[in-house]
Structure 1
C-alpha cells in the first residue's frame, strides 16, 4: 500500500471508529483520540493511557481519551498526516519518522550524538528538547513531550556483527529517514525502508536479514524469535515524540490546553519508570530465549558514521543543537 492510499485507509479507519476530534462519548464529554503502533502494555502506550486517566479525573469526565494501540489506525507516517489534518488528535511517533518533515528532529537521531541514557535525558529535559518541540508548530502540530527509548542496536538472522564490515551485503530494515538509510550504506549494508509492523514477517520470510531498534521493541514485537543475533552497536538514541493536532489543540479551552501540556510533561516520568523496568525484563527474556548478544568495536562504528555526522553538522541549526547536546555529555 503506497503512502497516499495508506493515509486514506487510516483516515477511513479513524472515521469509522468515531475517532474524529469532535467525537463525543456522551453529552458534554469530548473524546480525544490517540494512536500508537506499539502493543497495549508498551511504556509509551501506558504513559498516554495515564494522560487520559488524569484528563478525565481533572475535568470530571468532560475530557476523555480513546487510545488505539498496536497500529490499529495505521503506520506512524499515516498517523502524522492524520494528526496534521485533524482526523486524530494525539499520536506517539518515533523521531526517525519525523526527520524529513521536521528538520530539528535530525539532531536527536544522528549517530553517536548521545553517550548514554542519562546524557539523552539531560538534553531532552532542557533547552534541546524544548527547541525541538517548538519546531512542530510550523506544520499543524504541537509537540507535547519527548519520550526517550534507549539505545538502538542491530539484530539479524545471520551472524554476530562486531565491525561495520560484518554488515556488508546484508539487507537491513530502516525507518523512512534519510539519516538511517545513509548510515546503513556507510556501514556497507543494503537499507530497506519498511514500516515497523512489517518487520517480523520480512525477517521470517528472509526479505531482510536484520533491522535496528531498541531492546524493548525487539522483545515486544517478538522479532527475537527469528533474529537470533543482537549486536550492541548503540548507534542511535533516537527518541519518540508525543504530538497533538494543532486543529484539535486550538479547539480546546485555554485551561484545557494548559492541563494537557502539564499532563504530557508529567507523563515523561511515568514512561521512564516503566521503560527502565521493562527494558531489563526484555533483556532477560531474549537472553533466556537463546538470542546471542555481543559487544561491537564501537570505535570502528563511530569512524564509519563520522562522514554522515560531519555533513549534517554543516547545517547551522543542527550544529547548534549538537553543540548543546555534547556540552551535556
Structure 2
C-alpha cells in the first residue's frame, strides 16, 4: 500500500472511530413487563424525538422486564456510569436525594391536575436538580397515577384499617404511612403480593389501578377503596458521569426530548387507567368511595417525621399553596 493510500486509510479509520465515539445509543432500564406500558412507551418515544433532533447521533434502547436488575440495582448502576439511564419509582430515590421525599408525602396533592402542575413547575425542577450532587441528572417526572388501598373487605374510613396487615413498598415512609392509619405495615416485593393476598399473609395492599389490574390482584382483593393517599411520581434519571461527557448543546437536546415525552406518557397513562378500570370491574372488583378526611386527619406524624428541614417544609408549603 502506498504511503499516501495508507495515510488516507488511517485517516478514514480515525474519522469513522470519531463518528462512532460521538454517536451513542443510551441504555435505559425499566421493570415493567409490557413493552407498551406507559413509562416504557414514553422512553421509546423520547428516543425517536432524540434521534430526530440529533440527526441520528443519539438514540435510546429500553431494557424493560427488569432485564438490567431491580430499581435499586439500576439506580446503583446509573450512579457509577455503568448504565446511562433508568426509569424508576420515586420511592427508592428517597434515601438518595432527600427532596424526592416531598412528592411522596401522603395527600400532598389535591388532584392529578394539581400534581402535574406542581411537578411541571419550579418545585418539580428543584427536586430533579437536587439529585445532581448524588450523581443523577433528573430528566423528568412521569405519572404513576393515584395509589389507593385494596383489600378483602371494603375500607370506608381510616378506622377500617386498624389491625389490617397491609403490604407496602420497602421504605420507611410507607411503613409510617400505613402505621399512621392504624394498620400493620408489611414490607414485601411487588412480585410476592399476589401470593400474599391469596394465602392470607396480608389482608390488603395499595397501588394504582393499572398495577392492580396487570398482576390480577383484584382476584384476591376485590374491594378497591379510593383513598388516593399518594400520587408519588416516577422519575427518569440519567447518569451524571455520562451527561458530563456530552457537549452542552447535546445535553439540551436530551433534556428537551425528555420533557416532550412527559405529555406522551401522561396521555398513555390516562388511557391505561381507563382500560384497567374497565378490566377490574369486569373481573368482579368493587370501587369503594371513602371518607378521605378521616385519612388526612391522621397524617400529621408522618409529616413531622419526614419533613424535618426548612427546605422540605418550604417545598411542601409551595405545593399546598399552589392548589
With normalisation by structure 2, the TM-score equals 0.88
Alignment correspondent of 1:216? 210
**Structure (1 or 2) with the larger CA radius of gyration:** 2
Alignment correspondent of 1:151? 146
Determine the C-alpha separation between the residues in 1 that align with 2:46 and 2:194. Answer: 30
After superposing the two structures, state which structure 1 stretch, 101-110 or 210-219, moved more: 210-219
The yes-or-no answer on 1:276 pairing with 2:261 is: no
The yes-or-no answer on 1:120 pairing with 2:115 is: yes
Alignment correspondent of 2:64? 69
Match 1:295 to one of 289, 298, 312: 289
Determine the C-alpha separation between the residues in 1 that align with 2:199 and 2:55. Answer: 50
Determine the C-alpha separation between the residues in 2 that align with 1:210 and 1:236. Answer: 16
Alignment size in residue pairs: 304
Alignment correspondent of 2:5? none
Which digits, 9 at most, give the CA deviation of each residue in 1:24-73, with x for residues without a partner? Answer: 9x956422111111232111111101011222233333322111112222
Alignment correspondent of 2:163? 169
Alignment correspondent of 1:8? none
The yes-or-no answer on 1:246 pairing with 2:234 is: no
Question: Do the aligned partners of 2:35 and 2:64 also contact (CA within 8 Å) in 1?
Answer: yes
After superposing the two structures, state which structure 1 stretch, 283-292 or 61-70, moved more: 61-70
Which digits, 9 at most, give the CA deviation of each residue in 1:93-124, with x for residues without a partner? Answer: 11122112211011111111110011111101
Q: Alpha-carbon deviation of 1:314?
A: 4.0
Question: Do the aligned partners of 2:54 and 2:253 also contact (CA within 8 Å) in 1?
Answer: no
Determine the C-alpha separation between the residues in 1 that align with 2:77 and 2:203. Answer: 32
Any unmatched runs of 5+ in structure 2?
Answer: 1-16
Match 1:309 to one of 285, 303, 314: 303
The yes-or-no answer on 1:182 pairing with 2:182 is: no
RMSD over equivalenced CA pairs, Å: 1.9
After superposing the two structures, state which structure 1 stretch, 55-64 or 271-280, moved more: 55-64
Question: Do the aligned partners of 2:173 and 2:306 also contact (CA within 8 Å) in 1?
Answer: no
Match 2:45 to one of 50, 57, 77: 50
> Where has structure 1 moved over 6 Å in runs of 4 or more?
none
Which digits, 9 at most, give the CA deviation of each residue in 1:218-251, with x for residues without a partner? Answer: 2223322332121100111111111001112122
